């Protein structure tokens, strides 16, 4: 399918200076409005003329959404905080080093200076059929071009597919789920708080969305509770190019031990399913066990139960198994 790539379609740009103004614009324009954060995912869509919003609401002038602040129970990160500010923040680095490391694993230094944490968790899937304008299920059509045996599906799902086999590409998302973070979402004058685990939406719920956000909603901030502060939290990502690339798979595992025995655990993988997946069966298998090679091997074996690889992504099965194994056995990466 030929896609015209010349000029960005005409649009009306608004640059509010407050969250109230931004929310008023989103309420006024509804599904015609597009929220612009760091602009990296946005400009990909616009330059390829695949997305054609009538109105763009640029959040770059809202300083309060860039703040990272300590709270009585952890930290709160504004959705417009850049990835580099998350990486460099002393509170994040001291209490939640895995979050800083996962943010550092995203993209390249140039992109991390521009890209936001809200954009990283809210970005759309990178499936090339979908992003090139093919009329697949996610784009409102009635077919998944990536699922047939002859398709290019090396980077797609091995878990959780439901018609659509595209994956979630975020690096910070699995860490936030492992840390039991919460997303603060506003619509008009109302506010709701959504657990990170429930923030992401799979195709069985809504095939055209990646998160619970609907037109008129604005992700304000991410709250990371102190529960897992200074605990053993492991993050690792595997990608084709270390200098810059989306994950083929990544893992975030939070473990609390007592006397060498695992008392509590949260194991989350991403890049292998439409949403970050919390592996509750793995958690059940390792709780009450020593954190050693045998437990890690068991965790890896349990993690791949029920996988359904496609024609060209069977390598992800062993990749995920070994990432989960290392996340239990090894010390967190620095």
* Burial class, 41, CB count within 10 angstroms (exposed 0-12 / middle 13-18 / buried 19+): buried
In this prediction, residue 4 carries a pLDDT of 56
Domains of the chain and CATH, by start: 10-59 (3.30.43.10), 66-122+167-329 (3.30.390.50)
Which residues of the chain form beta strands (DSSP E)? 12-14, 33-36, 55-58, 68-71, 74-78, 182-187, 190-195, 218-225, 232-238, 249-258, 261-270, 277-278
> Strand, helix or coil at 179?
coil
In this prediction, residue 49 carries a pLDDT of 80
For the chain, residues with pLDDT lower than 50 are none
Whether 124 and 41 have beta carbons less than 8 Å apart is answered as: yes
Q: How far is CA 77 from the centre of its chain?
A: 15
In this prediction, residue 3 carries a pLDDT of 56
Cβ neighbour number for residue 181 with a 10 Å cutoff: 27
CA–CA distances in Å: residue 193 to residues 184, 199, 205, 300: 5, 10, 19, 33
In this prediction, residue 328 carries a pLDDT of 98
Per the DSSP assignment, residues forming a β-bridge with 21 are none
In this prediction, residue 6 carries a pLDDT of 62
pLDDT tens-digit profile of 221-230?
Answer: 999 999 999 9
In this prediction, residue 235 carries a pLDDT of 98
């Amino acid at each position: 399918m030929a896609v015209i790539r010349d000029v960005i379609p005409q649009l009306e740009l608004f640059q509010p200076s407050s969250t109230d103004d931004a929310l008023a614009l989103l309420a006024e324009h509804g599904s015609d409005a597009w929220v612009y954060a760091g602009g990296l995912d946005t400009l990909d869509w616009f330059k390829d003329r695949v997305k054609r919003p009538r109105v763009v609401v640029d959040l770059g002038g809202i300083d309060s959404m860039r703040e990272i602040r300590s709270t009585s129970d952890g930290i709160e990160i504004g959705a417009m905080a850049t990835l580099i500010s998350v990486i460099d923040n002393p509170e994040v680095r001291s209490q939640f080093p895995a979050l800083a490391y996962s943010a550092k694993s995203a993209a390249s230094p140039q992109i991390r200076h521009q890209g936001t944490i809200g954009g990283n968790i809210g970005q759309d899937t990178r499936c090339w059929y979908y992003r090139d304008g093919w009329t697949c299920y996610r784009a409102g059509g009635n077919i998944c071009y990536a699922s047939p045996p002859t398709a290019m599906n090396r980077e797609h799902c091995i878990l959780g597919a439901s018609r659509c086999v595209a994956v979630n590409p975020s690096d910070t998302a699995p860490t936030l789920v492992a840390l039991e973070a919460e997303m603060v979402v506003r619509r008009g004058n109302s506010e709701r708080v959504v657990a990170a685990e429930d923030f992401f939406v799979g195709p069985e719920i809504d095939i055209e969305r990646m998160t619970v956000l609907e037109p008129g909603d604005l992700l304000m901030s991410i709250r990371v509770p102190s529960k897992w502060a200074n605990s053993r939290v492991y993050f690792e990502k595997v990608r084709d190019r270390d200098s810059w690339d989306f994950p083929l798979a990544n893992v975030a595992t939070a473990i609390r031990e007592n006397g060498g025995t695992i008392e509590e655990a949260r194991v989350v993988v991403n890049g292998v399913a439409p949403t970050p997946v919390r592996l509750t069966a793995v958690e059940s298998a390792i709780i009450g066990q020593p954190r050693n090679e045998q437990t890690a091997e068991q965790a890896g074996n349990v993690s791949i139960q029920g996988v359904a690889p496609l024609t060209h992504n069977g390598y992800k099965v062993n990749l995920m198994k070994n990432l989960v194994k290392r996340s239990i056995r090894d010390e967190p990466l620095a």
